[in-house]
Chain A
Amino acid sequence: MSFVDYLFLFAGMGAVTYLPRALPLLYLAHRRMPQWLIEWLGLIPVAILSALVAPLLFADAAARNVALGKLELLVAVPTLLFAVKTRSLGGTVLVGMVLYWVGGMMI
């Protein structure tokens, strides 16, 4: 692919990524938001993070079926406890990586 091919592809991808990030904010930041919307949006972070991480722990990506007992899940338990106890994101990332690395060598 040439420079121009890449430029068109990435500019297109950039546009369809940027617009969903920008338009709601540009619109809603200058409107009075109803109380129910504010409260509903307050639950979005926890819901979206859970929805993102759960299939990584409880499902097999290739076969796309439920898989219990994955190493990802076993490591997630102490990692999550560490996060709740210490509230350190950097520490949590490191603990998760080390446990996964060590766990992978033991299995």
Chain B
Amino acid sequence: MNVNQDTRNLFRQGAATAWPICLGYFPLGLALGVLAQKAGIPWWAVAMMSILVFAGSAQFICVAMLSAGASAPAIILTTFFINLRHVLMSSALAVHLQGVSRRFLAVFSYGITDESFAANMTRFREGDWDRWRALVVNHLANSAWILATVFGTLVGQFVPQGAMGIDYALTGMFLGLLAFQLKGRIHLLTGLLAAALSVAWYVMIPGNSYIVGASMSAATAGYLLKRRREKHR
């Protein structure tokens, strides 16, 4: 096998994992673009935001806050709290990226999103994965996101609301990624507990602390349960 063929394989396998994410990002990006266009944000600003921030939910909230006349510091602070959950994902990825050069990690970190994280973690766990393929996934997803958001600002006004189940793209993507994580009883229990805690937290406490709060609590409970089971064996 020569170097060229290796590179081609790398991209082929990266793309095979990334395309469903791109498919899900497209309607989301389109929706964001439409909202941005309605809020009077020009396409080049949307492109700049998708490149510099690359975080779907924070970008949606930014558009909403801009239309409501919020100040830049308020938007930046909100973004910080929404994206704090990535601390957990970044830590979990470190298990599979031990000893990798800091320069690579600095580039790789840019592309850590809910979706690329879940897809890469599944592949890493299955064992046939490496950091370069993971990087391809991150950057293909990023490109799709940038294109979709800009495309949305330019043509979004012609897309009828709710067409083709666009609103379900993100939920569907989360459900698929979740299904791949359900391997064994401990994972299933952890998932169920996280769901229950998250809904309760979401209903009772304003803001979005429910994501980090529920997932850390459920993972801790799942871990303790696993330890107890191992001790009794």
Residues of A within 8 A of B (CB): 1, 3, 5-14, 16-18, 20-30, 33, 36, 38-59, 64-66, 72, 75-76, 79-80, 83-84, 87-102, 104
Residues from chain A with a CB closer than 8 A to the CB of B117 are: 45
Residue from B49, B91, B112, B222 within 8 A of A10 (CB atoms): B49
Residues from chain A with a CB closer than 8 A to the CB of B196 are: 54
The contact size tier of chain B is 35 or more
Are A24 and B83 within 8 A (Cβ)? no
Are A50 and B192 within 8 A (Cβ)? yes
Tell me how far the C-beta of B203 lies from the nearest C-beta in chain A, rounded to whole angstroms: 6
Residues from chain A with a CB closer than 8 A to the CB of B23 are: 90, 93-94
Residues of B within 8 A of A (CB): 19-21, 23-24, 27, 45, 48-49, 52-55, 58, 62, 66, 72-73, 75-77, 79-80, 83-95, 97-100, 102, 105-106, 108-110, 112, 114, 117-119, 121-122, 162-182, 186-187, 190-199, 202-203, 206, 210-211, 214-216, 218-220, 222-223, 226
Are A98 and B165 within 8 A (Cβ)? yes
Are A28 and B191 within 8 A (Cβ)? no
Q: With A48-B194, A90-B23 known to touch, is A83 a contact of B180 (CB < 8 Å)?
A: yes
Are A10 and B109 within 8 A (Cβ)? no
Are B176 and A83 within 8 A (Cβ)? yes
Are A54 and B198 within 8 A (Cβ)? yes
Which secondary structure characterizes the binding site on chain A?
A: helix
Q: With A13-B58, A54-B198 known to touch, is A40 a contact of B223 (CB < 8 Å)?
A: yes
